[in-house]
Amino acid sequence: MSHTIFVWIEPTHGAVDPIAWEALAAARSVAGERPVVGLLPGPAEQPAAAEAIQRGADRVLLIDEPALPQLQTEPFAAAVVQLMQNHPPAVLIVGATAAGLELAAVVAARLGVGLATNCTALSFDGDQLVATRPALAGNVIAAVSGPQVVTLRRRALEAQPLDAARSGPIEALPPLSAAIEAAVRIIGTEPADHQVSLANARVIVAGGRGVGGPAGFEPLQALAQELGGAVGASRAAVDAGWIPYAHQVGQTGQVVQPELYIACGISGSIQHLAGMKTAKTIVAINTDPAAPIFKYAHYGIVGDLFEVVPALTEAIKQRSG
Amino acid sequence: MNIITLVKQAPDTTQLSGSLDGLKLLAEGAPRVLNPWDEYALETALQLVEAHGGSVTALMVGPAAATETLRTALAMGANQAVLVDDPALAAADTLATARTLAAAIGKLAPFDLIIGGRAGIEGNTGATAIQTAALLNLPLVSYVAALKTVDPAARTLTAVRLLDNERQIVETPLPALLTVVKEINEPRFPTFMQLRKAKKATIPTWNLADIGLTAAEVAPQVSWLAELPPAGQARLELIEGSPAQAAAQLVERLSKQQII
C-alpha cells in the first residue's frame, strides 16, 4: 500500500510560514501517485487552505480548535498522531522551524517511528523514505533511511508557484477531545525583531571580528537595507557584545541558506561555516587573503570592509537609480 | 530543586579550525568535549540551585570514554553525574536515546526540572530532549531564552521562548522539561580546584538492564545509509582593484546572474 504524505502547514501570526510551501514542494517531489494531504490548524475560511491546494496539496484537513487560539504542540501533535495511525502507512513532512521541530519530534516519539530533522532532500527507496541531511556542522551529508517523520530545512527547496488549475477538497476534522489539555500556558507573545529575521532572508550581510565594534555594523546595515536583506554576525561579534544573539549565524547560532551571503571581516571558523556555507552565493570581504572564508566564497575582495562595503552600497544605489 | 541536566559529548570543533574535514572529525581520537549547547543547560541548572537550593545531576548516554566529559560537568558544579552505556546503544537514534534517558530519569526521580541544550552539534537533530519529555509525559518548554520567575513552592515557572517569528512567554507547572538556547546565560569556567576534585569523583555507569530496558526497546528506527562528503567547495573568483572598482565589478557579476 502506498504512503499517505501528510504535510504540516504552520501558521504564524495569521499567515502561513513560507517554509510550509517548501514542505509541500518536497512532498510533491517524492509523491508520484501517493496522496499529499496538507494539515492546517485553524478555521476553513482562511485563504491558506486554498493556497495549500494550489501549492501542491491534493487535500487539506483543517484542525480547527476554537479552544486553542494559539498553536501548542501537545494537542496538535495528538491530532496528527491520530491521523497517521488512521492512514497507515503514513509519513509526515514538517518545515524545520522551532515549533515545527518540536511537533515533529513529539509525533515521532508518540508513534515510536523514526525521525530525521533538518533534511535538505527526500526520496523514496521502495517503501522506505530516504532523507538527506547535513551533519557534523555541515561537514558530512548523511542519508538516513526509514524515517516516517522528517523536518525540512528552510530554503532547501523552492516553493511551487501557485497553480490556479489545481483543486481539491478542504475538510474540517472533528475537534480534538477536551482531555488533551496543554499543561504549558502561553501568557504572552512579543514579535521577534523583524530586522533580524535571518531565516527567511534572501540576502544576509554578516559581520565578524573585523567589524571592530557596535558602530562597525552600521555600514553593513546600510548595505543590507539596500539589498532588502538582514544583518548576520559571527559568534566573535556577538560574544563581544556588538550585536544581539538573534543575529548569530553558525554552530551555536542559526543555520541559514540565503541566495547571497556577504561575509565582512569574518575569518571563517568551522563553527561559522557550519551556519552559512550552503548559501547559494558567498561573497567574502576581508583584509587577510589567507582567511579560510575565501576557500568557501564564490567572490572575494581582499580589502578593508569599511571601504568596500560603503562602495558596494553606493554601486547598488547607482544601479537601481 | 532537584534538577537533571541532559548532556552529551561532541567533537571539539575549536581544535579543528582551518581543517574542515568532517570525516576527520568523526574519526576516533578526535578530541571530544561537552556539547557546547549543553553548557547553557548546565549553567541554568547551577544558577537555579544556587538560588533555591537542591542538587544538579548531569545525565549522559554515551560510550565509556565519555566519563571524562562528565567530569567537566562535575567541575562546573554538578553534584553528581551518571553515564548510561550499553553496546546496544551504539547505533542509537534520537528516539532510542530518548527512551534511554527517560528510563534513566525514572531511576533518578524524584526531580523538579530537567534541562537540556538545544541540540548536539554533531548530529544537530535537536529532538532528543523534546522526545524525552514526550515519553515521560512532562510539560515541555523548549528554546528557553530567559527564565522570568521560578517558584519552587508553588511549583511553577515562567519562561521566555525564542521561536522563529516571535518570543513567547509561557507558564508551566513543575516538574517540567526545558531546553535552553544560548541567549539564556554565559556558562562558567571550572576552576583548577574544581577540575582536580572532579578528576577523583566516582561516576556510576548504568547499562540498559540497570534502567529496566532491553536492547529491542532501543533498536534504532532509522539507519544511516551513507555519509557523503559535502558538495564541492566554491571556486573563488578574486575581484581586484580599488574599493570602488571592486564594488562595481562585484555588483555587475551579481546582477548578471540575477542574484541581486
Say if residues A256 and A232 touch (Cβ distance below 8 Å).
yes
First to last CA, chain A: 59
Q: What is the pLDDT of residue A72?
A: 81
| Residue with grid cell 571592486, as numbered in its chain | B246
User: Which residues fall within 8 angstroms of residue B210, CB to CB, at 6 or more apart?
Assistant: B107
Does residue B28 belong to the interface with chain A, where contact is any CB pair within 8 Å?
no
Q: What is the least distance, in Å, from the CA of B250 to any CA of chain A? A: 8
Q: What is the least distance, in Å, from the CA of A163 to any CA of chain B? A: 24
Domains and CATH numbers, chain A: 4-172 (3.40.50.620), 203-320 (3.40.50.1220)
Alpha helices in chain A (DSSP H): 19-31, 47-54, 73-86, 98-111, 218-227, 235-239, 270-276, 293-296, 305-320
- Positive/negative CA dihedral, A117, B178, B135, B100: positive
Q: Give the span between the Cα atoms of B218 and B223, in whole angstroms.
A: 13
List of chain A residues with pLDDT < 70: 1, 44, 66-70, 136-139, 176-181, 192-196, 321
Q: Give the span between the Cα atoms of B153 and B163, in whole angstroms.
A: 29
Q: Identify the CA nearest to B163 among candidates B184, B191, B142.
A: B142
DSSP-derived secondary structure for B182-235:
GGG--PPPPPHHHHHHHHH----EE-TGGGT--GGGG--S-EEEEEEPPSPPPP
Residues from chain A contacting residue B93 (CB–CB below 8 Å): 114-115
Strands of A230-233's sheet in order across:
A230-233, A203-207, A260-264, A281-286, A299-302, B237-238
Q: What is the pLDDT of residue A91?
A: 97
Q: What is the pLDDT of residue B231?
A: 60
User: Which residues fall within 8 angstroms of residue A261, CB to CB, at 6 or more apart?
Assistant: A203, A204, A206, A232, A276, A279, A281, A282, A283
Q: What is the pLDDT of residue A69?
A: 60
A317 to A224, B155, B252, B259: CA distances (angstroms): 12, 57, 13, 15
Contact B131 A101 (CB under 8 A): no
Averages of pLDDT over runs of 10 residues in chain B (260 residues) are 95 56 52 90 98 98 94 97 96 94 97 94 86 96 96 96 88 97 92 94 98 96 74 78 95 91
Q: What is the pLDDT of residue B20?
A: 40
Q: Which of A270, A271, A272 would best serve as a mutation to test chain B binding (most B beta carbons within 10 A)?
A: A270
Say if residues A206 and A231 touch (Cβ distance below 8 Å).
yes
- DSSP letter for A240, please: T
For residue A224, give the C-alpha cell.
Answer: 543590507
B2-218 folds as: Rossmann fold (3.40.50)
Query: Which residue from A97, A145, A319 is facing B225, i.e. has the nearest CB?
Result: A145
Residues 50 through 89 of chain B touching chain A, CB cutoff 8 Å: none
Q: What is the least distance, in Å, from the CA of A247 to any CA of chain B? A: 11
Q: Where are the domains of chain B?
A: 2-218
Contact A12 B164 (CB under 8 A): yes
DSSP-derived secondary structure for A196-233:
T--TT-SEEEEE-GGG-SGGGGHHHHHHHHHHT-EEEE
Q: Which of B14, B15, B20, B183 would best serve as a mutation to test chain A binding (most A beta carbons within 10 A)?
A: B20
Query: Which residue from A146, A203, A273 is facing B20, i.e. has the nearest CB?
Result: A273
Q: What is the pLDDT of residue A137?
A: 61
Query: Which residue from A108, A142, A280 is facing B224, i.e. has the nearest CB?
Result: A142
For residue A83, give the C-alpha cell.
Answer: 491521523
Q: What is the pLDDT of residue B15?
A: 58
Q: What is the least distance, in Å, from the CA of A315 to any CA of chain B? A: 6
Which residues lie across from A123 on neighbouring strands?
A130
User: Which residues fall within 8 angstroms of residue A25, CB to CB, at 6 or more apart?
Assistant: A55, A56, A157, A158, A159, A160
Q: Identify the CA nearest to B230 among candidates A281, A173, A138.
A: A138
Q: Give the span between the Cα atoms of B121 and B8, in whole angstroms.
A: 10
pLDDT tens digits, residue range A164-182? 999 999 998 887 665 556 7
DSSP reduced 3-state for A283:
strand
| Residue with grid cell 475538510, as numbered in its chain | A171
- Number of Cβ pairs < 8 A linking chain A and chain B: 282
Q: Identify the CA nearest to B14 among candidates B38, B39, B31, B27.
A: B31
